Amino acid sequence: MHLGNSLRRLLQNPIFGGTGSDQRGDPDEQVVRGSEKLLRLALRGANAGAWVIDVKDGTTHWNEQLDRLYGFNETQAPSFERWIISLHPEDRRWVVADLETRLYSEATDFEREFRIIHPEKGVRWILNKGSIERDERGGALRIHGIDMDITERKEEQKMLREADRRKDEFLAILAHELRNPLTPLRNNLELLRLLPAGDSQRAEQAMDSMDRQLEHMVLLINDLLDTSRIRHGKLLLRKQRVPIGEAVAQAVEVSENFIRERKNELHLGPLPSDRYVDADLMRLVQVFANLLNNAAKFTGPGGHIWLDVEPGEDWVLVSIKDDGIGISADKLPRLFEMFSQAAPPLERSLGGLGIGLSLVKGLVELHGGTVEVASEGPNRGAAFVVQLPVARPPVGEADTRQRTTGRDIVRRRLCLI
């Protein structure tokens, strides 16, 4: 197919795979060749594909970088149709319509972002920048430009938007959680001022209510401070040799009232007395109590919670399962991130800042362990498993470790209803 001289020279440019001339020319021509080489290297470094379309006859050319960018078979000739087919079905119509609109307008430069279907990499985002070359009457002669893969940038932008959304949601919840105790505190304070001097019973009730509200605020603030210390590496653990059974038992005591209020049933498995971990007992209790409270929070009245300890030679596993609202698959990967929540705001009647699980993960990792979560989906419950390295028994105490059987420890069942 016949091409104009200007287009032929353009297509012979090395950035489009042309051979150009091997003869040495004048100094200006050598400068041009040097510029072309630099441009070719820049396009390769940026993984950018260069292309040109002759509007009159539809002839299309592009370089090898564009072949790789789109996953094209390099043995097949470039064509506008091949490019169109590679576009994502949801973007194809508007991209073509936009191109046609620009061709029949006075537009010259353009910039677009759209998706393509790469045969190996799947959906990819492309930044498409180009220019329309026109004749003296304004008619379109040629379209030329470059394409770049911006998938990573788009994913980073999406993550930043999601992080901003969760932070905004967190601040709104934090304000709500801190404001809630203020109303009863103020009401009880006013009541104390108005009570007769001898009404000690009502005064004690008012102070008990104020104490509960203050305790709630203190817990929230402490969780915030602990999370901040962990993120900045400033949380210090006071480690000692701790029986894992003791840590679990204390966590059950801490969470007992809340589980009872939620009318849940806790099934507690045997607690080994011969497995130790190097841990800060208070922080380990905080981990298991947080997980128990989380299970109770998202398990309706009459629901069940199972806590089991599986002792091994090198590791001990503590699992907390429930038959509550479950967790959708899209939320599982980020459940332990700061400000992440399993349930949407309108469904969280019990509140929560979305930092509890992030705090759990940070504390477990400071102890050299891991925490994982699994769920079969909404209304299918959830399971959290904490794995901690086993430590030797304290010096002077006989190592009587053995496999726990039904005869070693009678299985217990706590009904907290």
- Segment-wise mean pLDDT, segments of 10 residues, the chain, 417 residues: 39 40 44 46 65 88 91 90 95 93 90 96 95 91 92 93 81 75 87 86 89 82 84 89 95 92 94 93 94 93 95 94 93 80 48 75 95 94 96 66 34 38
pLDDT at 48: 81
pLDDT at 330: 87
pLDDT at 44: 56
The residue among 357, 364, 280 whose CA lies nearest residue 315 is: 364
User: Which residues make Cβ contacts (< 8 Å) with residue 414, sequence separation at least 6?
Assistant: 252, 266, 267, 268
Residue 69: its H or E element = helix 64-70
| Assigned token pair, 152 | 């990573």
Output the CA–CA distances (angstroms, integers) from residue 8 to 1, 89, 103, in the order listed: 11, 33, 21
- Through-space distance between the first and last CA atoms of the chain, rounded to whole angstroms: 85
Side chain identity at residue 57, one-letter code:
D
Residue 155: its H or E element = helix 151-179
User: Which residues make Cβ contacts (< 8 Å) with residue 337, sequence separation at least 6?
Assistant: 166, 358
Phi and psi, residue 377, nearest 5°: 125, 180
Output the CA–CA distances (angstroms, integers) from residue 208 to 177, 186, 189, 202, 347, in the order listed: 19, 13, 12, 10, 29
Phi and psi, residue 332, nearest 5°: -60, -45
CA-CA distance, 126 to 50, in Å (whole number)?
13
Phi and psi, residue 374, nearest 5°: -140, 145
Long-range CB pairs of 87-96, under 8 A, 24+ apart, other chains included = 87/114, 87/115, 87/116, 87/117, 88/114, 88/115, 88/116, 88/117, 88/123, 90/115, 91/115
The residue among 45, 35, 39, 34 whose CA lies nearest residue 16 is: 39
Using a cut of 0.75, tell me whether the model's pTM lies above it: no
Question: Which 8-state DSSP code applies to residue 332?
Answer: G
CA-CA distance, 112 to 401, in Å (whole number)?
67
The residue among 215, 165, 154 whose CA lies nearest residue 341 is: 165
Query: Which residues are bridge partners to 116 per DSSP?
Result: 87, 124
CA-CA distance, 59 to 78, in Å (whole number)?
9
CA-CA distance, 140 to 128, in Å (whole number)?
18
Helix 356-366 with 281-297: angle, nearest 10 deg? 150
pLDDT at 178: 78
CA-CA distance, 309 to 270, in Å (whole number)?
7
Query: What distance separates the 2 farthest-apart alpha carbons in the chain?
Result: 111
Dihedral over Cα of 40, 42, 44, 48: its sign? negative
